[in-house]
Structure 1
Amino acid sequence: MPKKEVKEFTVDGKKITCPVCDHDQFWTRRTLMNTRGASFFSFDWLNRDALNKICDNCGYVYWFYRQRIEDD
């Protein structure tokens, strides 16, 4: 498994820190946001995805629906 890239990020120019542990280093993943209808008909690939930023210290997950995040 490749090593995940860990770094700071900002939203609308504001540096984000973890609300649980105040850490400022996060790694990124994308998560599919499933809906019942699409899943029922096996059309999960039609669902939108969300951008997640995961705290590298405690694992808290931020979810972002729109791409308004800048990686520093």
Structure 2
Amino acid sequence: MTPKPIDACVRENLEAYFQDLDGEEPHSMHDMLIKLVERPLLEVVMQKAQGNQSKAAEWLGINRNTLRRKLTEHQML
């Protein structure tokens, strides 16, 4: 079985989110979605980089200090 593309999974989940809201207006969706996606991204990249923050930061295309800040925000240090 071929996995769905990430954007298709996000789209499906957003549709379900709006359906669950049942007419209520959403708030702070961008922040919510970034936090939900960022943590598993960091977890997988850090695992594949065997905990090497410099390598992980390079793979992510971000500064090592930014990576450390994000790891701290997600309580992953």
**Structure with more strand by fraction:** 1
Q: Whose relative contact order is higher, 1 or 2, with alpha carbons under 8 Å and at least 6 apart?
A: 1
TM-score (norm 2): 0.22
**Structure with more helix by fraction:** 2
TM-score (norm 1): 0.23
